[in-house]
Amino acid sequence: MRLHNQDAVGSTSISNTFIDCYMPTANGDYVKVYLYVLRALQSGTTTLSIASISDCLDFTEGDVIRALRYWEKQSLLQLTTNAEQVITDLVLLPPHKPTEAQTLQKKATTFSPTTMQNSMAQPPFDDHSQRLQTMSQKTYTNQELLAFQQNEEYCGMLKILEGYFARPMTPQDIQVATFIYQDLHFSLELIYHLYEYCINQGKRKPNYIATVAMNWAEQNITTPDQASQASQVYNRDYRAVSKAFGIQRPLAPAETDYIQVWVKRWGFDEKLIVEACNRTMIKAKGPSFPFANSILERWHKANVHTLDDVAKEDARYHNEKKEKMDDKKKQVATPVTNNRFNQYPQRQYSKEEFAALEQQLLARGRRNS
């Protein structure tokens, strides 16, 4: 999305009005997103992606979208979306002190968005999301945790999760795991899938895991299969392929199987996969996973691992193709035949010789006439 600043200042600074009137009532994660956008704008950045904010703050993209929509409701941001409801432009508006009536209305109104499967879509606001967010702030007392430890299933779950972390769980890890088990009522299978999903993406912070869990709860996800389908939008490789192919829907299992082969079996990185998809769009006139697979399979067999390798392979391929075309031209110019009259070398005539022969034939014709 493109950034536009209507409150430009010479350095990164925070308005006192924002600190006094907006920050005290805002969610802490929302404040982080606002400050990050503010920093980007005041440093001269003109483009910013939801994914880059997500990676920097260790939030899900849904969290970032919710924060931006919250500040838009507070009239601190102005967002523009395209036909697919993707944010394309963000305008930073100067903070103004709210009137007393607006202050009372803010206290009476809860702004919290629900999560949609497409993390780049802008969701509406509802009370269910706010309730889950409030629940995530709950801290269990030592007495409550001791009581939970009387539950064998709960204790077994913690031991298995320690195996996922490959280290003892911190008190905050235990708080989040207890919240997911006790308050979100996730099944053990879904809890294990959740932690596998987050840890495989390099996301181990309790806050991130809790946020993903709340997102799944908001979407009424109750099984690992449902979670896998919904989590596709957070998979960077899936997103890259979907963007290159112009696909706006969740990928089908047969399509994700292709990507798993490209990434895990053949070891291609995102750049090479996107390059293959781009070539597919040009040559196949549309998205085709089998066509892209044929390109990547050829690269895999040719031991191609970088874009430089691709350029070298392209040069080699074109040279071989040119040589074959040259051979075909030679075969056409000197056809092979079994005619016995063509089994001796043919004489080559110059232009002058052809002209002399032509004059002889004309003279012979005149004499005969």
The answer to whether residues 30 and 102 belong to one domain is yes
Indicate the pairing of strand 87-92 with strand 2-5.
parallel
Q: What is the number of structural domains in the chain?
A: 3
Of 208, 158, 217, 156, residue with least CA distance to 184: 217
Are residue 6 and residue 67 in the same domain, yes or no? yes
Residues 41 and 104 in one domain: yes
Looking at the fold, whether 36 and 94 belong to one and the same domain comes out as: yes
Higher pLDDT, 253 or 209: 209
Parallel/antiparallel/unpaired status of strands 77-81 and 2-5: unpaired
Question: Each residue of 176-192: pLDDT tens digit?
Answer: 999 999 999 999 999 99
Residue 318 in any domain: the answer is no
pLDDT tens, position by position, 33-50: 999 998 888 887 778 888
Same domain for 39 and 77, yes or no, is yes
Looking up residue 39, the CATH number of its domain turns out to be: 1.10.10
Strand order in the sheet with 2-5: 2-5, 87-92, 77-81
Let me know whether 111 and 145 are in one domain: no
Domain end: 118, 151, 175, which one?
118
Residue 319 lies in a domain: no
pLDDT of residue 211: 84
CA 105, CA 107: separation in Å to the nearest integer?
A: 5
Q: Is the domain of 113 the same as that of 143?
A: no
Q: In this predicted model, what pLDDT tens digit does every residue of 77-102 receive, in sequence order?
A: 999 888 777 788 888 898 888 764 45
Asked if residue 178 belongs to a domain, the reply is yes
Q: What is the pLDDT of residue 130?
A: 44
pLDDT above 90: residue 254 = no
Please write the tens of the pLDDT for every residue from 196-225.
988 887 888 998 898 889 888 888 899 988
Please, is 93 exposed, middle or buried when counting C-beta atoms within 10 Å of its C-beta (0-12, 13-18, 19+)? middle
Is residue 237 a contact partner of residue 259, using CB atoms and an 8 Å limit? yes
Using one digit for the tens of pLDDT, what is the confidence trace for 268-298? 988 999 999 999 999 998 899 999 999 999 9
What is the average pLDDT across 136-145?
79
Q: Is residue 250 part of a domain?
A: no
Q: Which of 172, 221, 228, 239 is CA-nearest to residue 196?
A: 228
pLDDT at 27 over 60: yes
- Mean pLDDT over the full length of the chain: 79
Question: Does pLDDT of 19 surpass 80?
Answer: yes
Query: Is 130 a domain residue?
Result: no
Is residue 174 in some structural domain? yes
Q: Are 98 and 21 in a shared domain? A: yes
77 and 8 part of one domain = yes
Within this chain, do residues 93 and 177 fall inside the same structural domain, yes or no?
A: no
Residue 320 within a domain:
no
Q: What pLDDT does 168 receive?
A: 92
More confident residue, 249 or 208: 208
7 and 111 together in one domain:
yes
The answer to the question of residue 344 being in a domain is: no
Domain shared by 227 and 294, yes or no: no
Map tokens 């503010």 to a residue.
38
Q: Which domain holds residue 69?
A: 2-118
For tokens 């079994």, the residue is 338
